[in-house]
């Protein structure tokens, strides 16, 4: 009887343990969400997020980059790409200046004086060999927003409508030739000045370009001091002096020369009016060829060798 009783008791214990185990498993299964125990799906999510965090940052796409490119700086050599810069010949100017661009030349118009501060252009040997003829079609410049002087402003004044960019420099094109007669390219010049010493200088520049092939030319009045005025509708200042600046950037003779001439007749040789570009800058307040590398600009504008231009001098 004792052995039977012992086996019965042992069997009851096993049954009780089994029932308890079933209850525990049941409770765990039904309360897994409340206990925040991860399942297999959760493990996959965690693994994926961790991998994403560890990925290295990618470099920005160059095509989508909004970063602005810094402007190029000119190298301090004669290989500076001045030929492809349309504004290379122009003196320094600001957004407040009235810049007018025509086919063959550009200018900065001085409304206060009804003439340009300067005209500037590139002159080539082929351009002065053209066949276009002058037609003397003097007329107001429609591109001057404030309105230019008119031919009537010069009528009866005793002064010539003196070209600053000479018509004979633009024989290569009928349009360029015609545009040289805009009144924005004119300044009151004494006849004995315009028709003699000034014309001689213009002719000499054309002879130089036939030899040097390409020149950069800037011409204008010296608008300062006490000046008289002409004009019927507009008040046109009569400058006391004129300047012309010429630059040759082609090897082997890289050189520059400038001229300051009084608005009056003279029998003196052209070379007697030659000065450095720095001297013209001092007289006018203009900054010529600002796109040149600084070391080249300083050298060319501060020195003058007459024999580079007037052979035998």
Give the domain ranges of the chain. Answer: 2-54, 98-308
Q: In a 3-state reduction of DSSP, which class is residue 18?
A: helix
Binding-site residues from annotation = 194
Q: In the predicted model, is pLDDT for residue 107 greater than 90?
A: yes
Q: Stretch 8-26: mean pLDDT, rounded?
A: 70
Q: In the predicted model, is pLDDT for residue 7 greater than 70?
A: no
Q: Which of 43-52, 124-133, 253-262 has the lowest mean pLDDT?
A: 43-52
Fold that domain 98-308 belongs to in CATH: Extracellular Endonuclease; Chain A (3.40.570)
Q: Which of 43-52, 263-272, 273-282 has the lowest mean pLDDT?
A: 43-52
Q: In a 3-state reduction of DSSP, which class is residue 275?
A: strand
Q: Is residue 276 classed exposed, middle or buried when 0-12, 13-18 and 19+ CB atoms within 10 A define those classes?
A: middle
User: Is 200 a residue of the active site?
Assistant: no
CA dihedral of residues 289, 292, 296, 300 (deg, nearest 10) = -10
What pTM did the predictor assign? Answer: 0.74
- Residue 9 pLDDT: 55
Nearest Cα neighbor of 283 from 260, 311, 251, 307 is 260
Q: Residue 17 — very low, low, confident or very high, per pLDDT cuts 50/70/90? A: confident
Percent of the chain whose predicted confidence (pLDDT) is above 90: 68
**For the segment 110-169, what is each residue's pLDDT rounded down to a tens digit?**
999 999 999 999 999 999 989 999 999 999 999 999 999 999 999 999 999 999 999 999
Choosing from 163, 171, 206, 244, which is the catalytic residue?
163
Q: Residue 61 — very low, low, confident or very high, per pLDDT cuts 50/70/90? A: very low
Binding-site residues from annotation for Mg(2+) = 194
Mean pLDDT, the chain, as a whole number? 83
**For the segment 203-236, what is each residue's pLDDT rounded down to a tens digit?**
999 999 999 999 999 999 999 999 999 998 999 9
Nearest Cα neighbor of 103 from 188, 186, 165, 187 is 165
């Amino acid at each position: 009887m004792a052995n039977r009783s012992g086996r019965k008791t042992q069997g009851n214990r096993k049954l009780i343990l089994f029932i308890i185990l079933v209850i525990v498993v049941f409770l765990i299964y039904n309360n897994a969400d409340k206990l925040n125990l991860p399942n297999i799906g959760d493990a996959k999510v965690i693994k994926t997020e961790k991998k994403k965090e560890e990925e290295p940052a990618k470099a920005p796409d160059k095509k989508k980059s909004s970063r602005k490119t810094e402007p190029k700086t000119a190298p301090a050599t004669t290989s500076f790409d001045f030929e492809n810069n349309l504004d290379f010949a122009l003196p320094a100017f600001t957004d407040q200046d009235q810049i007018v661009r025509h086919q063959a030349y550009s200018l900065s118009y001085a409304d206060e004086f009804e003439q340009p501060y300067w005209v500037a252009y590139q002159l080539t040997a082929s351009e002065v060999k053209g066949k276009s003829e002058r037609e003397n079609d003097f007329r107001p410049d429609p591109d001057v927003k404030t309105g230019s002087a008119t031919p009537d402003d010069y009528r009866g004044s005793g002064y010539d409508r003196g070209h600053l960019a000479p018509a004979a420099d633009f024989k290569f094109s009928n349009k360029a030739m015609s545009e040289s007669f805009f009144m924005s390219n004119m300044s009151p010049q004494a006849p004995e000045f315009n028709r003699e010493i000034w014309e001689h200088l213009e002719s000499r520049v054309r002879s130089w370009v036939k030899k040097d092939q390409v020149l950069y030319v800037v011409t204008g009045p010296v608008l300062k001091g006490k000046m008289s005025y002409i004009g019927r509708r507009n008040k046109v200042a009569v400058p006391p002096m004129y300047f012309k600046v010429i630059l040759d950037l082609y090897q082997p003779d890289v050189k520059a020369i400038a001229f300051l001439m009084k608005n009056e007749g003279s029998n003196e040789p052209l070379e007697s009016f030659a000065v450095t570009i720095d001297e013209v800058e001092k007289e006018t307040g203009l900054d010529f060829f600002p796109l040149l590398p600084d070391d080249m600009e300083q050298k060319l504008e501060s020195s003058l060798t007459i024999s580079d231009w007037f052979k035998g001098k």
